[in-house]
Amino acid sequence: EADIYQTPRYLVIGTGKKITLECSQTMGHDKMYWYQQDPGMELHLIHYSYGVNSTEKGDLSSESTVSRIRTEHFPLTLESARPSHTSQYLCASSALAGNSYEQYFGPGTRLTVT
């Protein structure tokens, strides 16, 4: 895996709590993404950003929000966690390299809401 970091790796939290999942990359990539993935299942894009102060919702409706104040940092926030938010959250980044935009992934945050 490339230089993209996610914290925490595992989080167990009660219903109604506010949480922020951190994602940082040191590659200077301008594009960043958040995916939601249930274990062993397909990836669903929930948010993406093509640069500082630019954020968009992805294909999967999500109650989370994101911000992109710095190029390297793309945190995801859940204002009020619910059991339905239990999943794995993967952060990725990409930039133009040889006419392609392969994405590089962090290790993921496995969230359990009780």
Partner 1 sequence: AQSVAQPEDQVNVAEGNPLTVKCTYSVSGNPYLFWYVQYPNRGLQFLLKYITGDNLVKGSYGFEAEFNKSQTSFHLKKPSALVSDSALYFCAVRDGSNYQLIWGAGTKLIIKP
Binding site for partner 1 (CB under 8 A): 1, 6, 31, 33, 40-43, 45, 48, 50, 90, 92, 94, 98-108, 110
The DSSP letter of residue 91 is E
Nearer to partner 1, 17 or 37 (CB): 37
Instruction: Tell me the Cα Rg of the chain.
Output: 13
Nearer to partner 1, 1 or 84 (CB): 1
CB of residue 99 vs partner 1: minimum separation in angstroms? 6
CB of residue 13 vs partner 1: minimum separation in angstroms? 19
CB of residue 80 vs partner 1: minimum separation in angstroms? 26
- Are 13 and 78 in contact, with CB atoms under 8 Å apart? no
State the CB neighbour count (10 A cutoff) for residue 103: 17
Distance (Å, whole) CA 84 – CA 114: 10
Nearer to partner 1, 13 or 30 (CB): 30
Structure tokens at 63: 């109650």
